[in-house]
Amino acid sequence: MIKINDIKKRYTDSVEIGPLNIEIPRAGLTSLIGPNGAGKSTTLLMIGRLLDIDEGNITVADLDVSSTKSKDLAKIITILRQENHFVTRLTVRQLVGFGRFPYSKGNLNKKDEEIISKYIDFLKLTELENRYLDELSGGQRQRAYVAMVLCQETEYVLLDEPLNNLDVARSVQMMDHLRQAANEFGRTIVTVMHDINFAAKYSDRICAMKDGKIAAYGTVDEIMDPEILTDIFETEIQTIDGPYGKVAIY
Amino acid sequence: METTNNQFSTALHNKRRSAKAFRNKKERTRYWVLLIVLLSIGLLSSLGLLLYNNPVPVDSPSFIPVTKRRIAAVIAMAIAVICHSLSTVAFQSVTNNKIITPSLLGFESLYGAIQTSTIYFFGATALVNFSGPEAFGIQVTLMVIMSLILYGWLLSGKYGNLQLMLLVGIIIGSGLGSVSTFMRRVLAPSEFDILQARLFGSVNNADPEYFPIVIPLVIIVAVLLFLFSRKLNVLSLGRDVASTLGTSHRASIIYTLILVAILMSISTALIGPLTFFGFLVATLTYQAAPTYDHRFLFPMSLAIGFAVLTTAYFVMTHVVSAQGVVSVIIELVGGIIFLIVILRKRKL
């Protein structure tokens, strides 16, 4: 379980995130939605210890993220940002292999290689595994990074806009993979999403943020409410019942 | 979390699939062949430097005393190569930038400023006397302290930021450079001449007196960097990925930069500035070693560096008889090769 207790992040006197209080239970997929500048990514980065917390604390599986050693946290939680610096002479397989670093410290054994193969196959990168990262399209590279964080085999996986720059087909494919990772491997996945309908179709829970505060948090059905959505995005939003549940129309 | 469904498609794994440092056997073989060829070139050139045009035969008892100066020069080359090659590759990896060198942190300007202010304030005799192990120790210590303050302050604060550190390093460097230039303007021509000889990087500046301190220190730092290879591999993926994989990014960077600072300071104090050399070696290394793994990048950078430096000295001394301009030639050739590489590959 991820517990966020009264956290605050101050950028300037007028711009601050928080205080936030939220508990994200184990297993399943939780999406953070909200307008630009609502603090979704900031919150995700603070959970993933990439950004310091100014006040309050966050615990992941009962470990405080700001005081627990980074190498211990690396076996429990992983985070992937939207844009990553990539090394030119690095193949997909070698990148995914870095996911084993918290365990093997760079000295891969046979079991590590098997786990690496498993996640490469899982994300359908088998054919591409010996390509260098700069020989891939943006979407393929994104998948390679997702394979790396899954290969870390942490209980908690945080993804900052995993659908950024992906077309509809790739987005559907990516969400199917994430859904499958949550179902089959029992991972707890938290993502930041921009597309309400993608969030609604694939998530178990949605947390809506606005102006640095949590505006609404609940199941997909609870959040997919015209009033709540209109209020959060300050845009007229209707919902209708579609074949996969509620669909937002804007 | 090992409780997951491990049956999932592991059947597709086979022994041929591996995430080792090279993509395939061919690239690995090519790496080792290149490494051996380059090492041989380096060794041949250094033998050439020792023996060519040497009137004393190798088996004569007076061989060692006679070639003392040449041996010292070759040792100085080896030290320069270790310092520049390893520190540039490590520095580029931790900064995630392949077109900068540790010289940006202002070591060379500080060296220039120390030399210039010595002659400016205390006169030419002071500069000539400002040598020996103490002076050497003072210079290295000053340069390491400056870089520690710079890194410590800029990387551990609330706004800890690598780009900011580099920018401040460049500004301090050019500031010191301007102060030195100003002081040089008011020097007498004879004093300026003495100073200028010190400011050109040359292995003949190296005083064998320092070797007993320098060699162990350089070897220790080089071994520490080699042992840090696997961490450097992770650091080269960038701050966010490195942190999420469980390295304490800031501490690792400061550790690397301290090692880099020691190497750069030693090299600069021993033989003077060689701005472009590390950069040239690192660029060639990435072309010659198709891997991300520093355990293979480091040896290749040493082989390339040694081959380039010894060959340049051999050619300039014995073929063209223009020994003094080796560092100039290295920068010229380095710049041209760098341009060719970029224009041909269109990437770094």
pTM for the whole structure: 0.86
Residue B266's pLDDT is 86
Is residue B14 in some structural domain? Answer: no
Average pLDDT over residues A153-174: 88
Q: Is the dihedral angle over the CA atoms A151, A156, A162, A163 positive or is it negative?
A: positive
B59 part of contact set with chain A, CB < 8 Å:
no
> What secondary structure letter does DSSP report for B103?
G
R_g (Cα) of chain A, nearest Å: 18
pLDDT digits (tens, 9 = 90+) for B202-245: 777 777 888 888 899 999 999 999 999 999 999 988 888 888 89
Q: Is the dihedral angle over the CA atoms B148, B151, B154, B157 positive or is it negative?
A: negative
Residues in chain A: 250
Closest to B295 in 3D by CA, of B30, B93, B43: B93
Min distance B6 CA to chain A CA atoms (Å): 8
Asked if B19 and A96 come within 8 Å (Cβ–Cβ), the reply is: yes
Residue B223's pLDDT is 95
Is residue B1 in some structural domain? Answer: no
Residues ≥6 apart with Cβ < 8 Å to B71? B50, B64
- For residue A94, the chain B residue with the least C-alpha distance is B19
Run of H or E residues at A57? strand A55-60
Is the confidence metric ipTM above 0.85 for this complex? yes
Q: CATH topology for A1-68+187-250?
A: Rossmann fold (3.40.50)
A109 part of contact set with chain B, CB < 8 Å:
no
Is residue B20 in some structural domain? Answer: no
Min distance B258 CA to chain A CA atoms (Å): 22
Range of the domain at B82: 25-345
Asked if B240 and A81 come within 8 Å (Cβ–Cβ), the reply is: yes
A65 phi-psi bin (left φ>0, alpha ψ -120 to 50, beta other): alpha
Is residue B11 in some structural domain? Answer: no
Average pLDDT over residues A220-248: 86
Percent of chain B past pLDDT 90, that is, above it, reads 18
Residue B345's pLDDT is 64
Residue B5's pLDDT is 42
- For residue A84, the chain B residue with the least C-alpha distance is B238
Is residue B153 in some structural domain? Answer: yes
Residue B8's pLDDT is 46
> What secondary structure letter does DSSP report for B11?
G
Asked if B234 and A101 come within 8 Å (Cβ–Cβ), the reply is: yes
CA separation for the pair A176, B244 (Å, rounded): 24
A111 part of contact set with chain B, CB < 8 Å:
no
Asked if A130 and B23 come within 8 Å (Cβ–Cβ), the reply is: yes
Percent helix, strand, coil in chain B, to 5, is: 75, 0, 25
Could you say which residues of chain B have pLDDT below 50?
Answer: 1-10
Token output for B149: 């303050």
Of A47-61, A223-237, B183-197, the range with the lowest mean pLDDT is B183-197
> What secondary structure letter does DSSP report for A82?
S
B345 part of contact set with chain A, CB < 8 Å:
no
Cα angle B57-B62-B66, degrees, rounded to a multiple of 5: 85
Residue among A48, A75, A108 minimizing CB distance to B19: A108
Inter-CA distances, B248 with A25, A27, A70, A102, B253, Å: 28, 28, 6, 12, 9
pLDDT digits (tens, 9 = 90+) for A182-217: 888 888 999 999 888 888 889 999 999 988 888 888
Percent helix, strand, coil in chain A, to 5, is: 35, 30, 35
CA separation for the pair B292, B232 (Å, rounded): 10
Q: Is the dihedral angle over the CA atoms B44, B50, B56, B57 positive or is it negative?
A: negative
Residue B41: CATH number of its domain: 1.10.3470.10
What is the residue-averaged pLDDT of chain A? Answer: 87
Min distance B154 CA to chain A CA atoms (Å): 17
- Chain B hits for A116, Cβ within 8 Å: 17, 19
- For residue B251, the chain A residue with the least C-alpha distance is A70
Is residue B12 in some structural domain? Answer: no
Q: Kind of pairing, strands A55-60 and A63-64? A: antiparallel
Residues B271 and B76: beta-carbon distance below 8 Å: yes
Min distance B339 CA to chain A CA atoms (Å): 18
Residue B159's pLDDT is 54
Number of domains into which chain B is organized: 1
Percent of chain A past pLDDT 70, that is, above it, reads 100
Asked if A70 and B243 come within 8 Å (Cβ–Cβ), the reply is: yes
pLDDT digits (tens, 9 = 90+) for B132-183: 777 778 888 888 888 777 777 766 655 556 777 778 888 888 898 898 888 8
Asked if A185 and B4 come within 8 Å (Cβ–Cβ), the reply is: yes
Looking at this protein, which amino acid is placed at residue A71?
A: K
B321 phi-psi bin (left φ>0, alpha ψ -120 to 50, beta other): left
A residues 165-204 near B, CB within 8 Å?
Answer: 184-186
Average pLDDT over residues A78-86: 83
B156 part of contact set with chain A, CB < 8 Å:
no
Question: Is the peptide bond preceding residue A19 cis, with omega within 30 degrees of 0?
Answer: yes
